[in-house]
Structure 1
Amino acid sequence: MAKKSIIAREYIRIKLEKKFCEKRLELKTIISSTTSSDKERWSAMMMLQRLPRDSSRCRQSNRCSQTGRAHGVLRKFKLCRSKIRKAAVQGLIPGLKKASW
């Protein structure tokens, strides 16, 4: 199980990303726009740099919803590989069964 402080840090990143999502997208469209002037682009870049670093989507990591583990997490189930295996053996995930050939 991951430390509670690391799970809390990840939760803060998710909240910040939701809060600044529209602002960040707006600034990025100004920067990538060919019609905006150089001064507008420069000011948009400076505004983007002033936003919190953790508000970026790429700062988040997929974590297991049960254990908080960061590696070996399947996006479809939001569970790590060991918890998926345990749930599949118990029959808790519909449509998922152990392969045998």
Structure 2
Amino acid sequence: MTKQRKKILTVVLLIYTVTTVLAQGNGTAGINEATQMVTSYFEPATQLIYAIGAVVGLIGGVKVYNKFSSGDPDTSKTAASWFGACIFLIVAATILRSFFL
């Protein structure tokens, strides 16, 4: 090998080593920051899901009342689906919160 080739090879290996060493970080700071950002959204998201559940509950209650007052035969089916939707929203919010926090 010529001197010129040895110098070029040495420079290339040095640059490769430096970039590899700089790229070797454990990433703990980035992971902790991402975790903090995600967990900070769960409290407002949980409150939003509870608010949506309350609105759905009120609308469903009015719907069931109207069907019951008019003597509609499928009132029990409507009441069961409304109740199931409210329970699902509450349980989903609670499970997601406990799973991620």
The TM-score by the shorter chain falls in which range? 0.3 to 0.5
More helix by share: 2
TM-score, with length taken from structure 2: 0.33
TM-score, with length taken from structure 1: 0.33
Larger radius of gyration: 2
